[in-house]
Structure 1
Amino acid sequence: MCGLAGLLRPAPDTDEERLTALVRAMGDALVHRGPDDSGVWADAQAGVALAHRRLSILDLSPLGHQPMASADHRYVVAYNGEIYNFAELREVLVARGHGFRGHSDTEVLLAAVVEWGVEAAITRCNGMFAIALWDRQERCLWLARDRVGKKPLYYGWAGDTFVFGSELKALWQHPDFDNAVSRDALALLLRLDYIPAPHAIHVDTFKLMPGSLLRIDAVAVASGAAAHAPERDQHRYWQPRERMAAAIAQPFGGDVLEAENRLDELLREAVALRMVADVPVGVFLSGGTDSSIVTALMQAQSRHPVRTFTIGFERSHHDEAHLAREVAEHLHTGHTELYVSGSDALAVVPTLPAMFDEPFADASQVPTALVAKLARSAVTVALSGDGGDELFFGYKRYERALRNWRWQQRVPSLLRRALARSAQQHGEASRAGGFAALAAEMGARGIGDVYRQRIARWRDPQAAVPGATLPITLYDQPDPLRGAGTPADAMMLADFSVYLPEDLLCKVDRTSMAVSLEARAPLLDWQVAEFTWSLPLDFKRHPSGNKYLLKQVLRRYLPDSMVDRGKRGFGAPVSEWLRGDLREWAASLLEPQRLRNEGYFDADLVHGLWQQFLGGERKWHTHLWNVLMFQAWHEHWREQRRALCAANT
Structure 2
Amino acid sequence: MCGLAGLLRPTADLDAARLDALAGAMGDALEHRGPDDRGVWFDDAAGVALAHRRLSILDLSPLGHQPMASEDHRYVVVYNGEIYNFAELREVLVALGHVFRGHSDTEVLLAAVMEWGVEDAVSRCNGMFAIALWDRHERCLWLARDRVGKKPLYYGWAGGTFVFGSELKALWRHPAFDNGVDPDALALLLRFDYIPAPHAIHADTFKLLPGSLLRIDAATVADGPRAHDPHRDQRRYWEPRERMRAALAQPFNGDVLEAENRLDDLLRDAVSLRMVADVPVGVFLSGGTDSSIVTALMQAQSRHPVRTFTIGFERSHHDEAHLAREVAEHLHTQHTELYVSGADALGVVPTLPAMFDEPFADASQVPTALVARLARTAVTVALSGDGGDELFFGYKRYERALRNWRWHSRVPGFLRQALAGSAKTHGEASRTGGFAALAAEMGARGIGDVYRQRVMRWRDPEAVVPGAKLPAIFYDQPDPLHGVGTPADAMMLADFSVYLPEDLLCKVDRTSMAVSLEARAPLLDWRVAEFAWSLPLDFKRHPSGNKHLLKRVLRRYLPDSMVDRGKRGFGAPVSDWLKGDLREWAAALLDPARLRAEGHLDADAVDALWQQFLGGERKWHTHLWNVLMFQAWHEHWQSQRSAVRAI
TM over 0.5: yes
* Matching residue of 2:138: 138
Distance 1:178 1:611 in 2: 35
Letter in 2 for 1:63: L
Letter in 2 for 1:68: M
Distance 1:225 1:54 in 2: 30
Contact 2:157–2:224 under 8 Å retained in 1: no
Task: Using the TM superposition, give the Cα deviation of residue 275 of structure 1 relative to its aligned residue in structure 2, in angstroms.
Answer: 0.1
Mapping of 1:464-503 within 5 angstroms? 464-503=464-503
* Matching residue of 1:307: 307
* Matching residue of 2:235: 235
Contact 2:146–2:211 under 8 Å retained in 1: yes
Contact 2:157–2:225 under 8 Å retained in 1: no
Distance 1:467 1:178 in 2: 19
Distance change in 2, residues 1:226/1:92 (3 Å): farther
- 1:366-387 alpha-carbon deviations (Å, 9 max, x no partner): 0000000000000000000000
- 1:429-453 alpha-carbon deviations (Å, 9 max, x no partner): 1101122112210110000000000
Distance 1:167 1:14 in 2: 24
* Matching residue of 2:540: 540
Counterpart of 2:422 in 1: which secondary structure? Answer: helix
Distance change in 2, residues 1:227/1:23 (3 Å): farther
* Matching residue of 1:450: 450
* Matching residue of 1:337: 337
* Matching residue of 2:209: 209
Contact 1:204–1:228 under 8 Å retained in 2: no
Counterpart of 1:618 in 2: which secondary structure? Answer: coil
Distance 1:366 1:508 in 2: 11
Letter in 1 for 2:175: P
* Matching residue of 2:612: 612
Contact 2:466–2:601 under 8 Å retained in 1: yes
* Matching residue of 1:565: 565
Counterpart of 1:144 in 2: which secondary structure? Answer: strand
Pairing 1:509–2:509 present: yes
RMSD: 0.8
Counterpart of 1:303 in 2: which secondary structure? Answer: coil
Distance 2:139 2:446 in 1: 47
Pairing 1:113–2:106 present: no
Letter in 2 for 1:187: A
Letter in 2 for 1:91: E
- 1:522-542 alpha-carbon deviations (Å, 9 max, x no partner): 000000000000000000000
Task: Using the TM superposition, give the Cα deviation of residue 298 of structure 1 relative to its aligned residue in structure 2, in angstroms.
Answer: 0.1
Contact 2:204–2:225 under 8 Å retained in 1: no
Task: Using the TM superposition, give the Cα deviation of residue 224 of structure 1 relative to its aligned residue in structure 2, in angstroms.
Answer: 5.0
Task: Using the TM superposition, give the Cα deviation of residue 225 of structure 1 relative to its aligned residue in structure 2, in angstroms.
Answer: 8.5
Distance 2:143 2:431 in 1: 39
* Matching residue of 1:629: 629
* Matching residue of 2:16: 16
Contact 1:160–1:227 under 8 Å retained in 2: no
Pairing 1:387–2:364 present: no
Letter in 2 for 1:630: F
Distance 2:218 2:417 in 1: 53
Between 1:78-87 and 1:438-447, the stretch displaced more is 438-447
Pairing 1:408–2:426 present: no
Task: Using the TM superposition, give the Cα deviation of residue 230 of structure 1 relative to its aligned residue in structure 2, in angstroms.
Answer: 2.5
Distance 1:88 1:533 in 2: 25
Contact 1:401–1:447 under 8 Å retained in 2: yes
* Matching residue of 2:427: 427
Task: Using the TM superposition, give the Cα deviation of residue 14 of structure 1 relative to its aligned residue in structure 2, in angstroms.
Answer: 4.4
* Matching residue of 1:554: 554
Task: Using the TM superposition, give the Cα deviation of residue 13 of structure 1 relative to its aligned residue in structure 2, in angstroms.
Answer: 3.2
* Matching residue of 1:250: 250
Distance change in 2, residues 1:223/1:578 (3 Å): closer
- 1:230-280 alpha-carbon deviations (Å, 9 max, x no partner): 321000000000000000000001000000000000000000000000000
Distance 1:646 1:14 in 2: 21
Counterpart of 1:130 in 2: which secondary structure? Answer: strand
Pairing 1:357–2:352 present: no
- 1:111-146 alpha-carbon deviations (Å, 9 max, x no partner): 000000000000000000000000001100000000
* Matching residue of 1:151: 151
- 1:584-641 alpha-carbon deviations (Å, 9 max, x no partner): 0000000111111111111111100000000000100000000000000000011111
Distance 1:140 1:343 in 2: 50
Letter in 2 for 1:555: R
Contact 1:20–1:41 under 8 Å retained in 2: yes
Counterpart of 2:133 in 1: which secondary structure? Answer: strand
Contact 1:221–1:227 under 8 Å retained in 2: no
Distance 1:458 1:100 in 2: 53
Letter in 2 for 1:603: A
Contact 2:132–2:144 under 8 Å retained in 1: yes
Distance 1:524 1:6 in 2: 29
Task: Using the TM superposition, give the Cα deviation of residue 196 of structure 1 relative to its aligned residue in structure 2, in angstroms.
Answer: 0.5
TM-score normalised by structure 1 residue count: 0.99
Counterpart of 1:42 in 2: which secondary structure? Answer: strand
Contact 1:142–1:216 under 8 Å retained in 2: yes
* Matching residue of 1:43: 43
Task: Using the TM superposition, give the Cα deviation of residue 186 of structure 1 relative to its aligned residue in structure 2, in angstroms.
Answer: 0.2
Distance 2:452 2:224 in 1: 38
Distance 2:444 2:274 in 1: 42
* Matching residue of 1:367: 367
Counterpart of 2:435 in 1: which secondary structure? Answer: helix
Distance 1:172 1:425 in 2: 40
- 1:187-227 alpha-carbon deviations (Å, 9 max, x no partner): 00000000010000000000000000000001112455985
Task: Using the TM superposition, give the Cα deviation of residue 161 of structure 1 relative to its aligned residue in structure 2, in angstroms.
Answer: 0.4
Counterpart of 1:441 in 2: which secondary structure? Answer: helix
Contact 1:42–1:50 under 8 Å retained in 2: yes
Contact 2:156–2:225 under 8 Å retained in 1: no
Task: Using the TM superposition, give the Cα deviation of residue 283 of structure 1 relative to its aligned residue in structure 2, in angstroms.
Answer: 0.1
Contact 2:129–2:145 under 8 Å retained in 1: yes
The gaps in structure 1 that reach 5 residues or longer are: none
Letter in 1 for 2:565: R
* Matching residue of 2:97: 97
Distance 2:370 2:16 in 1: 42
Task: Using the TM superposition, give the Cα deviation of residue 516 of structure 1 relative to its aligned residue in structure 2, in angstroms.
Answer: 0.0
Contact 1:311–1:338 under 8 Å retained in 2: yes
Determine what percentage of the aligned residue pairs are the same residue: 86
Distance 2:81 2:444 in 1: 41
Distance 2:477 2:124 in 1: 31
Letter in 2 for 1:377: T
Distance 1:424 1:572 in 2: 31
Contact 2:575–2:618 under 8 Å retained in 1: yes
* Matching residue of 1:165: 165
Letter in 2 for 1:483: G
Distance 1:212 1:268 in 2: 27
Distance 1:520 1:20 in 2: 32
Counterpart of 1:276 in 2: which secondary structure? Answer: coil
Pairing 1:81–2:62 present: no
* Matching residue of 1:196: 196
